[in-house]
Amino acid sequence: MNAERDETLFAQSILRAEASAIAHLADRLDADFSRAVDLIDACSRSGGTVLVTGLGKSGLIGAKIAATLASLGIPAHSVHPSEAAHGDLGRFRPSDTVIAISFSGETEEVVNLAAVLRQDGLPIISITGRAASQDRSRPPSSLERLATVALRLGVEAEAFGVAPTTSTTATAALGDALALAAARRQNHTDNDFARRHPGGSLGGLLRPVKEVLRFVAGKNLPLAPQSATVRGALEAAATVARRPGALLVVDATGRLAGIFTDGDLRRLVLTNPAALDQPIERVMTRTPRTLPASAMVRDAVHMIQEHRQDEIPVIDDDGKPVGILDVQDLIAMRLVRSE
C-alpha cells in the first residue's frame, strides 16, 4: 500500500510540474506569439503550407502540431530534418512557413535545415526551451538567430531527470495555442472542423442533426392533429413500417403542439383505457423540449444526457416538425450508451 501511495505522489508531482510549466508559458506570451500567428495566417491565406520540423521527441510533437493545424483548415505537414537534406527540400516553397523545434536550439540537423531555408527567404518560427532565468544571461541559440520569430518555452527543468516531459508537454500546448489562434484569426467554425472530420465519434457529434434523422415528417413520420383521438393517432402511426417511440402532435397551423410517447400510452392504458377515445391534446405533453433543424448531433446528445429524453422533436424556424430523433439512432452511432 505504501508503494502504491508513493507512486501516486510521484505521478502527481510529474503532472503538477507539467501543469506549472504550461501556466508559466501562458504568463510569458508576448508580441512574438502574435507575430508567429501573423506568419501562419499569411502563409495559409497565400496558399502556402506550414511545415513543422524537429528531431526525436521534438519531431513527434511537431507531427502532432502539423496534424492540429491541418484539422483546423491550415495546410500543414511535418518534415524530418535529416530527410530534408536527401530530397525533402523539394517540399519547401517560397509561400511556405516553417516551425522549427529544438529544446536546446542547437540540434544540428534542425539548425542546418533552418540555415538553408533562411537563405531561401522562408519565414521561420523557432520553438526552443530556453529557461526564463537564462534569457538575458547568454546569447540566442543558433536556431533563434536564424528565426524570423523566436518563441521560448521558459522551461527550467524536466519533470524528472533529463527525459523530455515538461518540455514536450509545453511544446504541444504552445502548438495548440498557435493553431487555434490562427484558426480564430480566419473565423474557423465547428462546421469547418466537421467537414474535415467526417468519421468516428467526433465526426458524428459535429454532423447536422437533420442528416441523421431516420423519421422525417411527410415521409415516414405521420403527424397527429390535436383534434385526433389517441386511438386514431395510433392507427395513423401504424400505417408506416417503423415508427419512433413517440407521436408528434401539431396544431391547425402545422406547428408542434405536443408529444405523446410510448410511456404516456402505457400509463394511459393502465389507468384509464377509455381515454383512448378522447382527443390526444388532453393527454399529450405540451411544449416538449425540441431542437432546431440547425442543431448539431452533439446538441442532441447533451439533451439526452441532461434530461433523459429518449425522443427529441426537431423543428424548423416556424416551429413546424421536421422529424424526430430517437435515442436508439444515437446508440447505433455509438454516441450514447444504452442503459
Per-residue pLDDT tens digits for 291-329: 898 888 888 888 877 777 788 899 999 999 999 988 777
Q: State the chain's mean pLDDT as an integer.
A: 85
Residue extent(s) of CATH 3.10.580.10 domains in the chain: 205-332
Per cent of the chain over pLDDT 70 is: 87
Is residue 228 predicted with pLDDT exceeding 80? Answer: yes
Query: In CATH, what is the architecture of 2-188?
Result: 3-Layer(aba) Sandwich (3.40)
Mean pLDDT over 127-153 rounds to 81
42-46, 175-179, 197-201, 276-280: least confident range: 197-201
Confidence (pLDDT) at 213: 85
User: Residue 221: what are its φ and ψ, rounded to 5°?
Assistant: -135, 90
Answer whether CATH 3.10.580.10 is correct for domain 205-332: yes
Q: Give 278's Cβ-side CA count (13 Å radius).
A: 11
Confidence (pLDDT) at 236: 85
Mean pLDDT over 63-72 rounds to 91
Residues 52 and 40: beta-carbon distance below 8 Å = no
Mean pLDDT over 132-161 rounds to 81
Residue extent(s) of CATH 3.40.50.10490 domains in the chain: 2-188
Is residue 201 predicted with pLDDT exceeding 50? Answer: no
Per cent of the chain over pLDDT 90 is: 47
Is residue 202 predicted with pLDDT exceeding 70? Answer: no
* CA–CA separation, 339 and 326 (whole Å): 15
Mean pLDDT over 71-86 rounds to 84
* CA–CA separation, 249 and 280 (whole Å): 8
